[in-house]
Amino acid sequence: MDLYLEVYAGAGEFYSEDRYRRQLDLHMQRVGWELVTASVDGALVGYVYGFPLPQQTRWWEGIHEPVPLGFTEEDGHRTFALSELLVHPEWRRQGIARALHGELILGRGEKRATLLVHPDNAAARRAYASWGWSKVSRLRPSWEDAPLFDVLVNDCLGFAGSRPTK
């Protein structure tokens, strides 16, 4: 929680501790929920988590633009939702986000993955594009004070270069 609050300090009410605790509590209950962390000298510097979207998901509620027929239909095995990827500001630009992302995503059994990113987060958008993600639509989650996000999808979960080198 401390890392989340530090990364999103001053970003608005949507990024409050209360809302994030509720989100995290709901997400951790999802079948297949997975978390990958990065630590340096025992201190948490980043993490990523996600889960497969269940058949009766609310993930796609609030989609703003038309999407291909069947795009939002889920069966519990079709789409992995990458819900949070963050790295402490002092540890950015060192490959940690890429390593976390690759460790969570590479080799998954789902056909595709999805995530939401702020349209004005140029650094994240460049990174995601280089990792095989593409914009499909926009979405405003049903959470109170939720901003508008771009919906990204990655249909090639075994993309080259995503797993950290040993």
2-154 adopts what CATH topology?
A: Aminopeptidase (3.40.630)
Helix, strand, coil percent content, the chain, rounded in steps of 5: 25, 25, 45
In angstroms, rounded to a whole number, what is the distance separating the alpha carbons of residues 107 and 163?
10
In angstroms, rounded to a whole number, what is the distance separating the alpha carbons of residues 103 and 35?
10
- Those residues with Cβ within 8 angstroms of residue 5's Cβ, 6 or more apart along the chain or in another chain: 15, 17, 20
- What pLDDT was estimated at residue 156? 67
Measured over the CA atoms of residue 42, residue 96, residue 141 and residue 32, the dihedral's sign is: negative
Domain boundaries, the chain: 2-154
- What pLDDT was estimated at residue 157? 59
Each residue's pLDDT expressed in tens, for the chain with a length of 166 residues = 989 888 888 887 877 888 889 888 888 999 999 999 999 999 999 999 999 999 999 999 999 878 888 999 999 999 999 999 999 999 999 999 999 999 999 888 899 999 999 999 999 999 999 999 999 999 998 877 889 999 999 986 554 334 333 3
Q: Element (H or E) spanning 24, and its range? A: helix 17-28
65's tokens:
């633009």
- What pLDDT was estimated at residue 64? 86
